[in-house]
């Protein structure tokens, strides 16, 4: 009988253990610390939604909807989709759960997302993002707060020096429509020289031609009209308020007039934090204002702004975190000592002291295990120690040892 083949992970997924898992958790922990400082409530939304949630929010014609979504029909015949991003699900919850009563709603979440795309450095088919949103605030101060939060997160992670905030405005509805019409006219005049992808975008999503990487499109995009020529006074004032807010908060930024968001519900601020340390795919955090999204999903006119950041990409940038270590390794000798050690280790853990114990082996092997674990202390416990009501406490850093009463052990290892 042949041996069954060992199952392998699906392409574009990953198993994390050791340092990669510690890096991942370090990013999440920093995010949770910072979002609390800014008063963002932690929320959870489903991993899958009705397909219409994403088709309506992302647009039927976008690459995400047409090529990248994991969509399936469940047993009830409903079309469901694994979430490719967070914002649409959060907007759906804002409407269906009655969260309008909490507006302006400041929320944050993190977790897995799913897109069928070609895996590359820092990108996976099941990937993970941090996400922060403010829904129900039309003021530029909301944009500023989210950008300052993002900047502080990158500082906490120790990667801010290698990252640049690129900022642009998409204007209000009037500005955007006028600019879009001028762009279409410009690209139509050069359609014979455009790439096939940009010709497709010309009818579906013309703003996206501006960030095309195809060499045929670059000179045409570079010569396209800037949005500033079409900016309404109100939209200009909004952008000025955002930039002044960033200056006041000490957040450095640079204008990128070619930074766009293709979908029609995006307004005003668009931004990306970019780095050259990850190759061509240099964005580590990005977002913008989406004042038309909730309305596009069937709700009332509701302003919103938010951003998302890839956990895997940030984890690649941070310095290697210290390995996770226990404080105490218990080394019991004998059946009675093992029974007593089980109770002792439970007491220490309940007191908030990280500790562990090898399940088997002689004293020499268990001491080797204690050394290898990186524990600060080894606690030696045998029949003689039990009879005296004490343990041998060995400092693994300097090799010194002392006798400590069992009921004073927690105090001794935290002194």
pLDDT in tens, 99-130: 999 999 999 999 999 998 776 665 789 999 99
Residue range 148-184, pLDDT digits in tens: 999 999 999 999 988 999 999 999 989 988 998 999 9
Same domain, 378 and 300: no
Token reading at 360: 């088997």
Same domain, 274 and 373: no
Same domain, 136 and 242: yes
* Predicted pLDDT of residue 4: 83
Q: Does residue 217 lie within any of the structural domains?
A: no
Looking at 267, 286, 317, the residue that finishes a domain is 317
Same domain, 117 and 237: yes
Looking at 317, 338, 359, the residue that finishes a domain is 317
Same domain, 245 and 359: no
Same domain, 284 and 161: yes
* Predicted pLDDT of residue 3: 78
With a cut of 80, say whether residue 279 has pLDDT above it: no
Residue range 287-341, pLDDT digits in tens: 999 998 999 889 999 999 999 999 999 999 999 888 888 999 998 888 888 899 9
With a cut of 60, say whether residue 281 has pLDDT above it: no
Q: Does residue 393 lie within any of the structural domains?
A: yes
**Structural domain that includes position 389:** 328-414
Q: Into how many domains does the chain fold?
A: 2
Q: Does residue 403 lie within any of the structural domains?
A: yes
CATH of the domain at 138: 3.30.930.10
Q: Does residue 121 lie within any of the structural domains?
A: yes
Q: pTM of the full predicted structure?
A: 0.89
Can you list the alpha helix ranges (DSSP code H) found in 190-327? 196-204, 218-222, 233-249, 293-296, 311-317
Same domain, 341 and 307: no
| CA gap 24, 10 in Å, rounded | 20
> What are the DSSP calls for 282-298, one per residue?
-EEEEEEE-TTHHHHTT
CATH of the domain at 391: 3.40.50.800
Q: Does residue 216 lie within any of the structural domains?
A: no
Looking at 280, 296, 317, the residue that finishes a domain is 317
Percent of the chain scoring above 90 in pLDDT: 63
* Predicted pLDDT of residue 29: 97
Q: Does residue 186 lie within any of the structural domains?
A: no
277 pLDDT tier (thresholds 50, 70, 90) = confident
With a cut of 60, say whether residue 1 has pLDDT above it: no
Q: Does residue 274 lie within any of the structural domains?
A: yes
Q: Does residue 65 lie within any of the structural domains?
A: yes
Same domain, 168 and 126: yes
Residue range 75-86, pLDDT digits in tens: 999 999 999 999
Same domain, 262 and 128: yes
Same domain, 107 and 23: yes
Same domain, 356 and 296: no
> What are the DSSP calls for 152-189, one per residue?
HHHHHTT-GGG-EEEEEE---HHHHHHHHHHHHHHHHT
Given a contact cutoff of 8 angstroms between Cβ atoms, the answer to whether 344 and 406 are in contact is yes
* Predicted pLDDT of residue 139: 97
The residue among 145 and 66 whose pLDDT is bigger is 145
Same domain, 256 and 390: no
280 pLDDT tier (thresholds 50, 70, 90) = low
């Amino acid at each position: 009988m042949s041996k069954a083949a060992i199952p392998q992970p699906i392409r574009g997924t990953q198993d994390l253990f050791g340092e990669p898992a510690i890096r991942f958790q370090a990013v999440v922990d920093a995010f949770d610390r910072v979002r609390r400082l800014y008063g963002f409530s932690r929320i959870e939304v489903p991993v899958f939604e009705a397909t219409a949630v994403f088709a309506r929010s992302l647009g039927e014609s976008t690459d995400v909807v047409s090529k990248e979504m994991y969509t399936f029909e469940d047993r009830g015949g409903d079309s469901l989709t694994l979430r490719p991003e967070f914002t649409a699900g959060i907007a759906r919850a804002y409407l269906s759960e009655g969260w309008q009563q909490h507006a302006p709603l400041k929320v944050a979440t993190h977790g897995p997302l799913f897109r069928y795309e070609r895996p590359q450095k820092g990108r996976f088919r099941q990937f993970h993002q941090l996400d922060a949103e403010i829904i129900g605030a039309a003021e530029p101060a909301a944009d500023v707060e989210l950008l300052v939060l993002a900047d502080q997160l990158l500082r906490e992670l120790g990667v801010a020096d290698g990252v640049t905030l690129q900022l642009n405005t998409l204007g209000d509805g009037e500005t955007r429509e006028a600019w879009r019409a001028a762009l279409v006219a410009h690209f139509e005049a050069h359609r014979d020289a455009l790439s096939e992808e940009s010709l497709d975008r010309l009818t579906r999503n013309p703003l996206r031609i501006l960030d095309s990487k195809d060499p045929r499109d670059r000179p045409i995009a570079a010569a396209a009209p800037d949005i500033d020529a079409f900016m309404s006074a109100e939209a200009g004032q909004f952008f000025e308020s955002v930039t002044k807010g960033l200056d006041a908060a000490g957040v450095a930024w640079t204008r990128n007039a070619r930074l766009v968001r293709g979908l029609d519900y995006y307004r005003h601020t668009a931004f990306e934090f970019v780095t050259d340390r990850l190759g061509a795919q240099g964005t580590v955090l990005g977002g913008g204002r989406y004042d038309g999204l909730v309305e596009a999903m069937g709700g009332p006119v509701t302003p919103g702004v938010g951003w998302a950041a890839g956990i895997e990409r940030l984890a690649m940038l941070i310095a290697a975190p210290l390995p996770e270590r226990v404080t105490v390794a218990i080394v019991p000798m004998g059946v009675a000592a093992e029974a007593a050690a089980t109770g002792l280790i439970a007491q220490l853990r309940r007191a908030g002291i990280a500790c562990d114990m090898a399940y088997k082996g002689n004293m020499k092997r268990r001491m080797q295990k204690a050394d290898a674990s990186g524990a600060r202390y080894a606690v030696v416990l045998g029949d003689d120690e039990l009879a005296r009501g004490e343990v041998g406490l060995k400092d693994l850093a300097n090799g010194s040892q002392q006798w400590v009463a069992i009921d004073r052990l927690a105090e001794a290892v935290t002194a």
